[in-house]
Chain A
Amino acid sequence: MNGLIKDLGLLINATLIATPPLLLAALGSCFSERCGVVNIGIEGMMTIGAFTGAVMGLTTGNGWIAFLCAGLAGALFGLIHAFVCISCHADQTIAGTAINFLGPGLALFLCKAMYNNSSDTPAMDPSCKLPKLFEGVFPTGSFWNNVLNVYAVAYLVFILAFVCWFVFYKTKFGAHLRAVGEHPEACESLGIDVYKVRYTCVILSGFFAGLGGAFVTLATINQFRPSVIVGQGFIAIAAVIFGKFSPEGATKACLLFGLCSGIKSLAAQSNVVSPNLISMIPYVVTIIALVLFVGKAHTPAANGKIFVKSK
């Protein structure tokens, strides 16, 4: 029984480590996809966020300021994506791919320029990072320590997910953003400024992706390396599609991914099962869940289509 409770605590702990960066990026992706702009540049925006978070943590010594700056850096990349896709009518997939090259490339370039040609930022002191809840309250290794003594942001993201859900379904802006993603021409005829709504959403998607990246460098570990965000942006996009383009669906999908990473760690303590099979757990579980429990996802009708404002 004790062993079970301990394992449960570890699973929750693992979920609270793996889920937040994915969920933040996925919430951002929801905004972008639902308003009709495909954003596969999430990965690049996360990398820029991770880098900015590490640099600002080192320079300001305040985790919250660094976290916010990382969001703003991501938002700047969101703005670039928005300008290229919305104002310049570029192909959204290609623009997103460009962001995925630009983000990691720029992060590496700036890192080398700022830190003596090194591809990693120096490691941060724990005091520069985001704060943890209940630090030192529970004994190390206890159930409550594993469940409650985690980074405050790890719980905050779930509140944020709820706020996103509220914005999507309970506010005028939410109704506009959903409508704009389905039928922008109709929205325009009703006097909704399609460009404005889409700009806001795409910038928000960059902001959230930047926060997601910064969680890795300001909470999970304590420095930036080019290899810290590999594939997480794409997993976040997959979670959004899996969650039918809704914040609540994406939250469930990211939780499932996070939980599986915990199971993976518990299962990797011997060679009884091939490590390659264990690494497949999150993906296999997702496919099974997709087939059994999730019906057909409705892609926003205008997603990825170029919309030109009538004069």
Chain B
Amino acid sequence: MRKKVMAAVLTAAMVASVSAMPQMVAAADDEFKIGLITDVGGVNDGSFNQSAWEGLEKAGEELGVEVNYLESATDADYQPNMETFVDEDYDLIISVGYMLADATREAAEANPDTKFAIIDDSSIDLPNVTSLMFKAEQASYLVGYVAGLTTKTNNIGFVVGMTNETMNQFGYGYCAGAIDANPDITVQQFNANSFADSATGKTMANTAITNGADIVFQAAGATGLGVIEACQEAGVYAIGVDSDQSSIAPKTVLTSAMKRVDNAVYDAVQELIDDKLEGGVQTFDLAAGGVDIAPSQDLISDDVIKAVDEVKEKIISGDVVIPDNKDDFEAKYGDVYVLD
């Protein structure tokens, strides 16, 4: 008999503790709930996804919203992750990267009352989807400008992970910046056609260095690690991409062309709270703090930093417009960028 009573009491306690949980969540119901879905990189990839999550975490702390993330281990996880957040009534779901475009489109069509945002993709034309795009050519222009002023051989290199409309913007900006800073410059260009082949990246950088380059810019993911390592071994400068890559080789990475995904995510949350978040494309540029060169500037000379700050202001004021497509680029600089 005593055992039965004991069991009943324990069961009651268990039920009570379980049923208490939804109430805790319900208490926070008037708060905005924002979810972030990574691509296969995960929230600590030291790059894109991490930057996005840091922006959202900051928003969570400063703006008093509830934030959460789901990582995608494979492409097959995008849709289930999307459904998880939709089922839990999240107000805004942020997809990191163009790889999630299809899953985002499907979820947005099926749930017109939920808001979605996607980074680096502008293909979804729905009223509840906001595209967060970055002017990569502006950041690339600035690092190209630094390279053009810093090179001693008037010869620099560029290794890209793939050639398409988005990736070529890095090339247009970099070449334009280098030429504007140094009209005599030669830009050696390589298409690795892979974001995961560091041996090829290293070989391409070695080729550029052997042919006289003393600075090599890479926009090529893990292929780019090979580029940075080749530069480190040869004692020349490399330029990083997406995040501040100085920590990979502190005496080698001259600067980095950064996309401030964190700022873009933070701004999107702010707009959601202010009820101003609308569908369509939002472009983050230098003026909005969406792109920039890295804060690590120990290797850049003071004169160069000053010159870059001046050119930054000209870009922000609109005096300098940086081409982001083949026609505009070739109209001003000729057929210098050979990979498109």
Known: A10-B210, A119-B41. A228 touches B198 (CB 8 A): yes
Known: A141-B209, A146-B210. A265 touches B203 (CB 8 A): yes
Known: A122-B247, A279-B194. A222 touches B229 (CB 8 A): yes
Which chain A residue shows the least CB distance to B189? A269
Contacting residues of chain A (10-37) with chain B, CB-CB under 8 angstroms: 10, 13-14, 17-18, 21
Of A75-83, A270-278, A302-310, the one touching chain B:
A270-278
Chain A, 117-132, contact with B by CB distance < 8 Å: what is the 0/1 string?
Answer: 1111011001000001
**Chain A residues closer than 8 Å to B206, beta-carbon distance:** 10, 13-14, 17, 146
Known: A120-B46, A122-B247. A268 touches B199 (CB 8 A): no
B200 with A271: CB separation less than 8 A: no
**Chain B residues closer than 8 Å to A146, beta-carbon distance:** 206, 210
A227 with B221: CB separation less than 8 A: yes
The smallest C-beta distance from B299 to any residue of chain A, in angstroms, reads 16
Contacting residues of chain B (189-229) with chain A, CB-CB under 8 angstroms: 189-200, 202-204, 206-207, 209-212, 221-222, 225-226, 228-229
Contacting residues of chain B (165-209) with chain A, CB-CB under 8 angstroms: 188-200, 202-204, 206-207, 209
The smallest C-beta distance from A7 to any residue of chain B, in angstroms, reads 9
Known: A140-B209, A270-B339, A278-B193. A132 touches B203 (CB 8 A): no
Known: A9-B210, A122-B247, A140-B209. A116 touches B44 (CB 8 A): yes
Known: A123-B248, A266-B207. A271 touches B339 (CB 8 A): yes
The smallest C-beta distance from A119 to any residue of chain B, in angstroms, reads 5
Interface residues in A, total, Cβ within 8 A: 43
B193 with A275: CB separation less than 8 A: yes
B163 with A119: CB separation less than 8 A: no
Chain B, 240-251, contact with A by CB distance < 8 Å: what is the 0/1 string?
Answer: 000000011100
B44 with A119: CB separation less than 8 A: yes
Q: Which of A21, A221, A261, A271 contacts B225 (CB 8 A)?
A: A221
Interface residues in B, total, Cβ within 8 A: 47
B200 with A265: CB separation less than 8 A: yes
Q: Which of B45, B194, B229 contacts A220 (CB 8 A)?
A: B229
| Distance in angstroms between the alpha carbons of A116 and B209 in the assembled complex | 35
| Distance in angstroms between the alpha carbons of A271 and B171 in the assembled complex | 13
- Within 8 Å of chain B (Cβ to Cβ): is A262? yes
Known: A141-B210, A228-B222. A118 touches B249 (CB 8 A): no
| Distance in angstroms between the alpha carbons of A245 and B339 in the assembled complex | 40
A268 with B229: CB separation less than 8 A: no
| Distance in angstroms between the alpha carbons of A223 and B232 in the assembled complex | 13
**Chain B residues closer than 8 Å to A222, beta-carbon distance:** 225, 229, 232, 248-249
**27 examples of A-B residue contacts, CB within 8 angstroms:** A6-B210, A14-B203, A17-B203, A18-B200, A18-B203, A117-B43, A118-B44, A118-B46, A119-B41, A119-B45, A123-B247, A123-B249, A140-B234, A141-B209, A220-B202, A220-B226, A221-B198, A221-B229, A222-B229, A225-B222, A266-B207, A268-B204, A269-B190, A270-B189, A270-B339, A275-B163, A279-B193
